[in-house]
A and B are shown apart, each in its own frame.
Chain A
Amino acid sequence: MTAFILQRLIQSIFVLLAVSIVVFFAVYGIGDPIELLVPPQVSDAERQALIRRLGLDLPVWQQYLTFMGNALRGDLGRSFVHGVSAIELILARLPATVELVLLSMALAIVIGVPLGLYAGLAPDSRTSRVIMAGTVLGFSLPSFWKGMMLILLFSVLLGVLPTAGRGETISLFGIQTSLFTANGLKHLALPALNLAIPNMALLIRVVAAGATEAMAQDYVKYARAKGVRPRRIVGRHVLRNILIPVVTVIGIEFGSLVAFSTITETVFAWPGMGKLLIDSIYQLDRPVVVAYVMLATLLFVTVNLLVDILYAALDPRVKLAGTRA
C-alpha cells in the first residue's frame, strides 16, 4: 500500500513538472509580457531596468528555473492586473468553486444513480427510454446553452431562482460558504444543476449498463435461488458491484468538473476560480492563468490518487499495483 502510494506520488510529481514546462512556455514563451506590463510612455532605461528586475533578460530556461524555484516556495507570480499574489487571488476564489463542484457532484449522484438503477432494472419501460434519451441530450448539448435554458426557464419564465451571482455566505472554519444559507442555496441551485447534468447523464448510463449487466449475472440468479429478497439483491448484490465503476466515473470526472466550472461560472456570473480564469484570459493576466493551471493540475492528481486508493478499498479483487512483490 505504501509502495503504491509512493509510486503514484512520484508519477504525480512528473505530471506536475511536465505541465509546468508546457504551460510556462506556452503562456510566457509566446508574445512579449513587457509590452503588456509597461505603459508606452515609460523611458527606455526604466524599461530595461524592469526587464532585468523581472529576470526577462535571462535565457528562457533560466527564467523557467526561477519560476519553478519560486513555485516550490508557493509563489506562482504576481497578478499583472490586481498586483497581488496569483495564488492568493485564486485561493480566495477556491471556496466558491469547490462548493459548486461538490454540490453538483452530489446532485449528479443523488439523481443519476437512482435514475440509472431504474433504467437498468426495467430497460424496456417507457420511463427508462425517456431517461436514456435524456442522457443523450445531457451529454451532447453545450454546457453554456443548457445553463442559459435553465436561466430562461427558472429565472425568466418561472421567476423562482436568481439568475446570477453568489448569495449570502457564512463563515465556517474561516471559509466563506453559501451552502448553509437559504439565499446562498438558491443562488447555487442553477449553476450546480447545470454543472451536474453531463455527469448525471454519464452516471445514469454507467449505472444502467452496470445494473443490466449485474442482473444477468449468475450470482444474481443464485441469490434469487437462495430466496434473497429483490430489495436486497438490488441494494446489496447489484449496487455493490456498480459502486466500483461509479467511483471511477466520479474520480475521472472530478477534473473535468473543475474545468467545466469555468463555463458554468461564466454563464451564472459565479465568483469562483473558473470565472477568474476567464477574466484573467481577457485581461492577459498571465501569472494568474499559469497559477490556475498549476493548481488545477495539483487538484487533478490528488483526486486521482484518492480515487485509486478508494477503488482498491471497494474491490477485494484489486491488489494495488505497488504491493506486488
Chain B
Amino acid sequence: MSGPTLLEVRGLRTVFHAADGAWAAVDGVDLSVGSGEVLGLVGESGSGKSVTGFSLIQLIDPPGEIVAGSIVFKGEDLRGATAERLRALRGDRIAMIFQDPLMTLNPVLSIGEQMAEAVLEHRAMPRAEALALAARALGRVGISEPETRLRQYPHEFSGGMRQRVAIATALLNEPDLIIADEPTTALDVTIQSQILYEMQKLARDTGTAVIWITHDLAVVAELADRIAVMYAGRVVETGPVDLVLDAPRHPYTSGLLGSSAAMVEPGGRLRQIDGMAPRIDSRPSGCPFRPRCDRALPLCAEIDPPPTPEGPRQYRCHNPVPQAEAAP
C-alpha cells in the first residue's frame, strides 16, 4: 500500500522554554511516512504526539522551539525552508486538521470565505471558482446543499459538521499529506465512526498520506497501515499496525493495549497501566517508562534504551515483552 517515502523525520526535538530551563516535549522523534500511507501516531496526553504534528509543519510558537532534527518532505529539508516556502507548503502540500472543530473556524467569517482562502492563498483563480471547489469538497464529505452552507457562519454548524468542513478544507488542494490531530475526540461516537470511514475512503481515493494523531488504539487498528507509539516525547515502538498490535514488544504498547476497552475480549477485565505519564518537566533518568514498568531492570535506570530494529518494526526497550505472551 505504501509508496516511496514522502516524509522522513530524524531526531526531531522540540522544547518549551521556561525561566529555569527548557523542557523537551518532543525528544528525538524518528518517523517516516510513505505516499498514500496512513500512519497512526498514538500516545497518552502529554506524550508529545500533538507537538510532533505541529512541529512537522513548523507551527510551533514561543515559548516552544524546534531545536534539532531534520524533517525531509519530498527530498526537501523543511527545517531549512524559508517562512514563505513553509507557508506555500502548508495547506497546499501538507494540510492539517485540528482537534477541536469548535475553536478552529473563525466565528465571524463565513464558511465559504474560510474554505476559499485555503485555495486562493495558493493558486490564483476567480473567487467564484474557489467557492465552486469548496462546494464540491463539502459534497464529498457528505454535507448537503453545499452552496447554501458556504454562505453560513460557523455557529450555524454542529461540531460534527464543522469537523467535516475542516476535512473538506484539507482535501481542497489535494495535498500529499494530511496531519489529523485527534480530529474525532471532540465528537460523539457515531459521528466519530462516520468521519473515520469517510477519511479512510478519501485517503484511498486521492492517494493522500495521513498521519492520524490519537490516543485511541481502536481507531488506529481500524484505519492505519503503520503505527508509531509515543511516550514521553519519543517513539517507543513503531511498525506495521497488525504486527505491533497483535504482538507488542514494548511494555508500554502492551499496557496501552491492555487498557484499551475495544481490544479486550467480551467479559475480560480492563487492565490499567499503573501511574501517570510523566510531566515533561519531571522525567526520570534512564528509560522514561521505567517507574511505571513491571518489566524494569536495574539497567533501565541507568541507560536510556536505544531504538532496536526487529524486522519491519523498531522498539526502545532493554527487556521487551516476549513474542509469545504479547497479546493480553
Contacts and interface: CB of A to CB of B under 8 A. Distances in A.
A236 B109 contact: yes
B169 A237 contact: no
A232 B117 contact: yes
Contact of A226 (B100, B109, B169): B169
A218 B98 contact: yes
B103 A218 contact: yes
B106 A219 contact: yes
Interface string A250-267: 000000000000000000
A218 B91 contact: no
Interface string A106-125: 00000000000000000000
A315 interface: yes
Given A232-B117, A240-B109, A316-B153, A219 B87 contact: no
B59 A219 contact: no
Interface residues of A, number: 23
Contact of B122 (A218, A227, A240, A314): A227
A225 B98 contact: yes
B90 A237 contact: no
Contact of A227 (B100, B109, B121, B166): B121
A282 interface: no
Contact of B106 (A225, A240, A314): A240
B66 to A, nearest CB: 15
Contacts of A129: none
A241 B100 contact: no
Contacts of B121: 226-229, 232
A315 B90 contact: no
Contacts of B88: 227
B55 to A, nearest CB: 13
Contacts of A131: none
A69 to B, nearest CB: 47
Contacts of A73: none
B118 interface: yes
A248 to B, nearest CB: 14
A217 interface: yes
B91 A226 contact: yes
Nearest to A220: B106
B98 A316 contact: no
A237 B59 CA distance: 17
What DSSP secondary structure best describes chain A's contact surface? helix
A219 B169 CA distance: 13
B108 A240 contact: yes
Interface string A211-250: 0000001110111111111101000110011001000000
A251 B156 CA distance: 28
Contacts of A314: 108
Interface string A283-325: 0000000000000000000000000000000111100000000
B328 interface: no
A315 B169 contact: no
B105 interface: yes
Contacts of A218: 98, 100, 103-104
B87 A223 contact: no
Contacts of B153: 316-317
Interface string B242-259: 000000000000000000
B201 interface: no
Nearest to A238: B106
Given A244-B108, A317-B155, A227 B89 contact: yes
A213 to B, nearest CB: 13
A305 B117 CA distance: 34
Contact of A224 (B90, B95, B122): B90
Contacts of B71: none
Query: What 9 A-B pairs have minimum CB-CB distances, sorted nearest first?
Result: A227-B91, A226-B91, A218-B103, A227-B90, A316-B153, A222-B104, A225-B96, A219-B106, A226-B118
20 contacts: A217-B103, A219-B106, A222-B98, A223-B106, A223-B114, A223-B117, A225-B90, A225-B91, A225-B95, A226-B117, A226-B118, A226-B169, A227-B91, A228-B117, A228-B121, A237-B106, A240-B106, A244-B108, A316-B108, A317-B155
Given A222-B166, A241-B108, 9 more contacts: A219-B103, A224-B59, A225-B57, A226-B118, A226-B169, A228-B117, A228-B118, A232-B121, A237-B106
